[in-house]
Chains A and B, each alone.
Chain A
């Protein structure tokens, strides 16, 4: 009985040291994983900020390209269609909004 107890004690000693070492390494491993994760997050944030910056640059370019001044210049100098001109108001037909509860019809005279 005593021999068995001594053997158990003898085993417990290295086991507890191993446990201690394991827990220390676990903490260190956890800590290093955490730091590595922090680096990853920070790297992704950096990428995000570069992408956001690019998006802003593209938005600025889009705003410049969509200017009315540019539209007109492009339209006037459109050689494929012989260049656009400003609409002749005599040729513009305005369509008045449909009214309900009336038969469907179209006319140039106001009713």
Chain B
């Protein structure tokens, strides 16, 4: 009995000694090796999700936000029956089984099956507990207003890099650098958190953008532009609304358009921001250059007479006609009735050099500097390259290529008393905590005297009055100042001006004396009618009328009726 006890106690003692030796080995001699092995098994590297900044409109309404999604991937080496897996997945994600099967039957250890799947679908797939199928959290950009302001906002690619619009231009502010974090996980992959380091709910946020766009104005503009685009069966249409004093773009839209939540299904033709990327010959809306230049140089006054009774004028051997024969017109009437003959006569008095100088002063042939990707400068040849007919053609808006935004900016200079402004769509960049990172300073330079701007504004008012070309642009309750344009397009086959294809436009501002908005409407190739006063002017009226209501701008006559003046008795205080 005693012998057995000795053997047992010796065995236990040796057992303990062995354990102690092993512990000493683990904790002292091979500590580093075992620590490294434990770290390798328990510690995992996790990427903290990066969220792009939110894009707000000028009143703080969200135009671009982020949604949490999950991407589905596979490890083909772990999948035993790919057919069953492909079939099960196909039922839950919108993909054909053959496509999924092709991804499952590869030699690679990692393959994406579907990126950024909505959480509700992911849960269904997770419940299947398919071996070899994994999930990775990802952030998806979401535009809650659908296609609204699509050309301004732009979109991102699958890796959340900005590709178009302000998403691209302000990518460095919106995006943020991703960070890695190390987490402890157990054998089943459960996270062990000490509550201080990595957190499952932690995320890195980019800076937020505040746009100058107003969602309400944008909707009014797009709704009416849509109607006109469909009504006139136009090839394309563009409208821009701007604050003429600051250059803030209040609304900007093009047709055709696209859904920014699904840009891959849109043709490049739909994605183009024509307001800044497409050039056209402006036609009569360009007469503002000759008109203001002649006033500024003292060549004319509003009552200077021009004989337009011939109905045509020959310049460099080319005959340029008026649509209707007018007789003798004052300078004011030349603009009001949009006489080509009268305008060319003024242009000839002005001369090549001065005409070119004013074209450049108004910023044509140069980018406006708007902070949206893709702007083009258009083109204006220098006088040394002009032909004999050029001075006549350029005076009436031919032989130059401009963007709708450039034309709008030129009219804004009349509206604001002679300053050329720099248009912009982002007013402020804010940190996720709400601090200002960057704020735009409106830029403006004087290009005309206030007197010239005021005189020309009075002339532009007459365009929407009886005898003018844009009666249809007149807004009930507020005076509109503006100008129509009807320009022929070049026929690519004949290389001559087409008799069927036109660009109809109207550009103006309202209320004329204290403008709240300046706006341009450009309709390419309308069917059935061609004149800017018929095609584009009514669109201007509808948009302006609703916009003035939206902005609570009183009618011009509200001083006499409709403006309730209330003042407070000091005794009540």
A49: interface (CB < 8 Å): yes
Determine whether the beta carbon of A94 is less than 8 Å from that of B144.
no
Of the residues B65, B190, B215, B572, contact of A60 by C-beta under 8 Å? B65
Question: At the interface with chain B, which of A1-9, A14-22, A103-111?
Answer: A103-111
Count B-side interface residues using an 8 Å CB cutoff: 50
| A57 to B560 alpha-carbon distance, docked (Å) | 50
Main DSSP-derived SS at the B contact region = mixed
| A92 to B558 alpha-carbon distance, docked (Å) | 9
B219: interface (CB < 8 Å): yes
Determine whether the beta carbon of B68 is less than 8 Å from that of A41.
no
Determine whether the beta carbon of A38 is less than 8 Å from that of B558.
no
Determine whether the beta carbon of A42 is less than 8 Å from that of B555.
no
| A48 to B219 alpha-carbon distance, docked (Å) | 37
Given A39-B190, A106-B565: A94 touches B200 (CB 8 Å cut-off) = no
Determine whether the beta carbon of A92 is less than 8 Å from that of B566.
no
| A39 to B209 alpha-carbon distance, docked (Å) | 38
Nearest B residue (CB) for A109: B565
CB proximity of A20 to chain B, nearest CB, Å? 13
B66: interface (CB < 8 Å): yes
A31: interface (CB < 8 Å): no
Determine whether the beta carbon of B566 is less than 8 Å from that of A57.
no
CB proximity of A88 to chain B, nearest CB, Å? 9
| A92 to B546 alpha-carbon distance, docked (Å) | 13
Chain A residues closer than 8 Å to B562, beta-carbon distance: 90, 92-94, 108
| A100 to B142 alpha-carbon distance, docked (Å) | 48
Nearest B residue (CB) for A51: B201
Determine whether the beta carbon of B564 is less than 8 Å from that of A68.
no
Determine whether the beta carbon of B477 is less than 8 Å from that of A94.
no
Q: Kindly list the 4 A-B residue pairs having the minimum CB-CB distance in the complex, ordered from nearest.
A: A104-B569, A63-B144, A38-B192, A49-B201
Residues of chain A touching chain B, judged by Cβ–Cβ distance below 8 Å, are: 35, 38-39, 41-42, 45-46, 48-49, 52-53, 56-57, 59-60, 63-64, 66-69, 72, 86-87, 89-90, 92-96, 98-111
Residues of chain B touching chain A, judged by Cβ–Cβ distance below 8 Å, are: 61-62, 65-68, 119, 142, 144-146, 148, 184, 190-195, 199-201, 215-216, 219, 223, 476-477, 545-546, 548-549, 552, 554-555, 558-570, 572-573
10 other A-B residue contacts (CB within 8 Å) besides A68-B219, A102-B569, A108-B561: A57-B119, A60-B67, A67-B146, A72-B219, A86-B549, A90-B476, A104-B568, A105-B566, A105-B567, A107-B564
